[in-house]
Amino acid sequence: MVKLVPVILCGGSGTRLWPLSRTGFPKQFLVLSGQTSLFQQAICRVNSIAGNACKSDETLIVTNEEHRFLALDQLRELKEISARLILEPVARNTAPALTLAALQAGLQGDDPILVVAPADQTVVDESAMTAALRLSVQAALSGEIVILGIKPDRPETGYGYIHYDEDLGASGKHKVLQFTEKPDLETAVQYLSSGHYAWNSGMFVLKASTWLKALGMFRPDILQSVSSAWNSRSNDELFVRPDKAMFDQVASESVDYAVIEHCPGSEINISMIPLAAGWSDLGAWDAVWQTGQHDGHGNMLVGDAFFADCSNTLIYASNRLVSAVGVDDLVIVETADAVLVADRKQSQHVKKVVAMLEKQGRAEHTLHRKVFRPWGWYDSIDESERFKVKRIQVKPGASLSLQKHHHRAEHWIVVKGTAEVTCGDEVKLITENQSTYIPLGEVHRLRNPGVIPLEIIEVQSGSYLGEDDIVRLEDAFGRS
- Spatial CB neighbours of 111, under 8 Å, sequence gap ≥ 6: 207, 208, 209
Q: pLDDT tens digit string along 419-433? A: 999 999 999 999 999
Q: What is the mean pLDDT of residues 69-73?
A: 90
- Return the top range by mean pLDDT from 70-84, 91-105, 171-185: 91-105
Type and span of the H or E element at 446 = strand 444-447
Higher pLDDT, 447 or 24: 447
Higher pLDDT, residue 338 or 53 = 338
pLDDT at 32: 85
* Mean of pLDDT values over 122-142: 91
Helices (H), 53-184: 68-76, 94-105, 126-140
Tell me, what's the pLDDT at 281?
87
Which pLDDT tens digit goes with each residue over 93-111? 999 999 999 999 988 778 9
Does residue 200 register a pLDDT over 90?
yes
The 8-class DSSP code of residue 401 comes to: P
Can you give the pLDDT at residue 51? 67
pLDDT of residue 395: 95
Q: What is the pLDDT of residue 108?
A: 75
Over the stretch 237-272, which tens digit does the pLDDT of each residue have? 789 999 999 999 999 999 999 999 999 989 999 999
How many angstroms separate the CA atoms of 163 and 362, rounded?
42
Mean pLDDT (whole number) for 355-376: 91
Above pLDDT 90, what percent of the chain?
A: 75
Number of other residues whose CB lies within 10 A of the CB of residue 308: 9
8 Å CB contact between 170 and 229: no
Going 182 to 184 to 187 to 191, the CA torsion angle's sign is positive
Residue 169: its pLDDT value, please? Answer: 63
* Contact in structure between 158 and 351 (CB atoms under 8 Å): no
Please give the pLDDT value at position 54: 61
Q: What does the pLDDT average to over 436-460?
A: 97
For the chain, what is the mean pLDDT? 92
Please count the residues of the chain: 480
Averaged pLDDT for residues 199-218: 95
**Better-predicted residue by pLDDT, 479 or 458:** 458
pLDDT band of residue 3 (cuts 50, 70, 90) is confident
Tell me what pLDDT residue 228 has. Answer: 96
Task: Classify residue 376 as left (phi > 0), alpha (psi -120 to 50) or beta.
Answer: left
C-alpha 424: how far from chain center: 39
Q: What is the rounded average pLDDT of the residues 320-334?
A: 97
